[in-house]
Chains A and B, each alone.
Chain A
């Protein structure tokens, strides 16, 4: 096995790269943590600048009031809740990859799951900002939590908004636990490969992990249980978010279709975001030996499937509105198709239903340019999906005297662009501080080193 001893060199294209060995995995993952170059710092500066603009805009909104964000009845939810739901949706792919695909033993997940999990946590952290921004007086946010106070007031547990607080807090906690537990053996590997103060920091974070049989035994069992707990959680969180709408009586929202519809859309947009992050990561870190074309192909197939399911849901939505015979429901639908925001609906149909169809062709599923363009379109489409649910429905509800359209302002647009910068700055920081590829799980999918190959193969 001379290839194994030589070790693979990451080759662009990644078509015919030899299987890496255990030592190669450590070397290549550690290489991603080297002191970054100018390109990295340039990106950090750009992202930091945009984030600063977002923070300034929020400061202005706090000072001036919610009118700065274009909030006028009936458009009280507008872009903040749109973007909130968008980010929660992005946060679904990570736990889907790490929990659901773990239970299904889909081995292609191993090389992408760490980056996807980090993406999940950062996306939920970004989403978590929006209820605060949206609430205006965010210093009263603790009112949402059930705590004993002198007025004996408790949150209304019958309200979907309170369910949402519980669902998202649980999701953030469990995703973070899952992420940190997965990191422990990898940080132990970093500890053993580093020196000086880094070694002391990593030693603390690794909790003294040594990879003994006792540790692995409980670790493996616990990991399976985390996956089993996280799987229903992933499905429940976006269902609960969808009930923020579906439990209300507003035409266009009041539908039992919403829970599966939202979950599917979340997975769809989450995978698009994974591709947006993974493709440059693979390019800049030279990880072609680990993130191969078949990984991109598998993710593209998932985007295609969830996109087709989403198209089906769109058709169902149109059909049930029409078939309901409900006057307000039909009027709301007709206005959404032909009224002020028809272009938003058109953008959504194009980006979510038409654009992913190119992934039926295999060359497109492995072509990074095509994948990148499709992923960006999907993200745009999914943002507009939430916009189309929230804004046109509120604009044209029951009572003509209460109709009203929403126009974005510079303040709220800047805050939303700033939220993307916040997400990317967290991700850029993460890939240089922690292994963005799981050392242990990548090794698990490689053939274990054997002296006598005759006994191998029953693995």
Chain B
């Protein structure tokens, strides 16, 4: 089966030319883009993120944090039922929580929240990647910006034209 999409890569040396290319491509209706940058750049993010929802990583953090909070409560309450250490005649499990156990709950909230954030970042960012993506170029961790456009082969010529017009210093393939 012949490939139905083709990837055209434009390599840019400057932020403003990259932004120009992205604006042009979006205006012409190309939305299947991959942008490679050595650092996150506000100007590029403004264009790329314009019509996207906020990253879902924060949901992972929230759920991880709440899980940690709950596990801290369950661990301390359950173990003090198993082996009661009554101090000063106070109940083994306070309502809603015994003050000393707040420390354990807090620490586990941070720990689980942090680990869940890590899992969220790795899985949403599709890491680890075992094979470099076809359009990747080592200069993208150095000082060059890349715009890869995924399009049908018949539109490739027009994409190349847009990239060249915006000021790409190299266009592949």
Q: How far is the CA of A452 from the CA of B20 in the complex (A)?
A: 12
User: Given the interface contacts A154-B83, A219-B121, does A440 sit within 8 Å of B128 by beta carbon?
Assistant: no
A157 on interface, CB distance cutoff 8 Å: yes
Q: How far is the CA of A264 from the CA of B35 in the complex (A)?
A: 43
- Please state if B141 and A154 are interface contacts (CB–CB under 8 Å): no
Write out, one digit per residue, whether chain A residues 201-217 have a CB within 8 A of any chain B CB (1) or not (0).
00000011111111111
Write out, one digit per residue, whether chain B residues 82-101 have a CB within 8 A of any chain A CB (1) or not (0).
11010100000000001011
CB < 8 Å A-B pair total: 203
For A154, A218, A452, which residue has the most chain B Cβ atoms within 10 angstroms?
A: A218
B67 on interface, CB distance cutoff 8 Å: no
Closest Cβ of chain B: how far from A180's Cβ, in Å? Answer: 9
Which chain A positions have C-beta within 8 A of B55? 217-218, 220-222
Determine the residue in chain B with the shortest Cβ distance to A27.
B142
Write out, one digit per residue, whether chain A residues 252-289 have a CB within 8 A of any chain B CB (1) or not (0).
00000000000000000000000000000000000000
Write out, one digit per residue, whether chain A residues 30-45 have a CB within 8 A of any chain B CB (1) or not (0).
0000000000000000
A residues 444-459 in Cβ contact with B at 8 Å:
444, 448-452, 455-456, 459
A185 on interface, CB distance cutoff 8 Å: yes
B7 on interface, CB distance cutoff 8 Å: no
Interface of B is mostly: helix
Write out, one digit per residue, whether chain B residues 101-144 have a CB within 8 A of any chain A CB (1) or not (0).
10110111011011101101110111111111100101111110
User: Given the interface contacts A208-B129, A208-B131, A217-B49, does A451 sit within 8 Å of B104 by beta carbon?
Assistant: no
B57 on interface, CB distance cutoff 8 Å: yes
Which chain B positions have C-beta within 8 A of A215? 125-127
Which chain A positions have C-beta within 8 A of B108? 166, 170
B16 on interface, CB distance cutoff 8 Å: yes
Partner of A177, one of B35, B76, B114: B114
Task: Choose, from B23-31, B37-45, B153-161, the stretch at the interface.
Answer: B37-45
Which chain B positions have C-beta within 8 A of A444? 39-40
Partner of B127, one of A23, A189, A209: A209
Closest Cβ of chain A: how far from B103's Cβ, in Å? Answer: 4
For B33, B41, B44, B56, which residue has the most chain A Cβ atoms within 10 angstroms?
A: B41
A59 on interface, CB distance cutoff 8 Å: no
Closest Cβ of chain A: how far from B147's Cβ, in Å? Answer: 10
Closest Cβ of chain B: how far from A338's Cβ, in Å? Answer: 36
- Please state if B118 and A177 are interface contacts (CB–CB under 8 Å): yes
Which chain A positions have C-beta within 8 A of B139? 192
B1 on interface, CB distance cutoff 8 Å: no
Partner of A226, one of B52, B117, B131: B117
- Please state if A152 and B14 are interface contacts (CB–CB under 8 Å): no
Which chain B positions have C-beta within 8 A of A233? 110
Q: How far is the CA of A279 from the CA of B160 in the complex (A)?
A: 50
User: Given the interface contacts A192-B141, A210-B132, A211-B37, does A181 sit within 8 Å of B85 by beta carbon?
Assistant: no
- Please state if A189 and B38 are interface contacts (CB–CB under 8 Å): yes
- Please state if B114 and A216 are interface contacts (CB–CB under 8 Å): no
Partner of B85, one of A152, A158, A209, A443: A158
Q: How far is the CA of A157 from the CA of B35 in the complex (A)?
A: 50
- Please state if B14 and A170 are interface contacts (CB–CB under 8 Å): no
Closest Cβ of chain A: how far from B4's Cβ, in Å? Answer: 22
Q: How far is the CA of A43 from the CA of B114 in the complex (A)?
A: 36
Write out, one digit per residue, whether chain A residues 98-126 have a CB within 8 A of any chain B CB (1) or not (0).
00000000000000000000000000000
B75 on interface, CB distance cutoff 8 Å: yes
User: Given the interface contacts A208-B128, A208-B132, A225-B57, does A173 sit within 8 Å of B114 by beta carbon?
Assistant: yes
User: Given the interface contacts A177-B115, A181-B121, A226-B117, does A214 sit within 8 Å of B126 by beta carbon?
Assistant: yes
Which chain B positions have C-beta within 8 A of A340? none
Partner of B38, one of A22, A156, A213: A22
Q: How far is the CA of A209 from the CA of B87 in the complex (A)?
A: 53
B residues 22-81 in Cβ contact with A at 8 Å:
33-45, 48-49, 52, 54-58, 61, 65, 75-76, 79-80
Which chain A positions have C-beta within 8 A of B76? 157
- Please state if B130 and A26 are interface contacts (CB–CB under 8 Å): no
Closest Cβ of chain A: how far from B148's Cβ, in Å? Answer: 9
A residues 2-55 in Cβ contact with B at 8 Å:
21-23, 26
Closest Cβ of chain A: how far from B160's Cβ, in Å? Answer: 20
- Please state if A208 and B127 are interface contacts (CB–CB under 8 Å): yes
Determine the residue in chain B with the shortest Cβ distance to A168.
B107
Which chain B positions have C-beta within 8 A of A236? 103, 106-107, 110
For B41, B114, B139, which residue has the most chain A Cβ atoms within 10 angstroms?
A: B114
Provide a sorted-by-A list of 24 A–B residue pairs whose CB atoms are within 8 angstroms.
A22-B142, A26-B141, A26-B143, A146-B75, A153-B83, A157-B101, A157-B104, A158-B85, A163-B103, A163-B104, A174-B110, A178-B114, A192-B141, A208-B127, A210-B129, A215-B125, A216-B45, A217-B48, A217-B52, A222-B117, A225-B61, A226-B114, A232-B106, A451-B16
For the complex of A and B, 7 pairs with smallest distance between CB atoms = A208-B129, A192-B138, A22-B143, A222-B121, A154-B79, A207-B128, A221-B55
B residues neighboring A (CB under 8 Å): 13-17, 33-45, 48-49, 52, 54-58, 61, 65, 75-76, 79-80, 82-83, 85, 87, 98, 100-101, 103-104, 106-108, 110-111, 113-115, 117-118, 120-122, 124-133, 136, 138-143, 167
Using A174-B110, A192-B141, A459-B42 as known contacts, list a sample of 7 further A-B pairs with CB atoms less than 8 Å apart, ordered by residue number in A: A157-B76, A169-B107, A189-B141, A210-B132, A215-B126, A221-B55, A229-B114
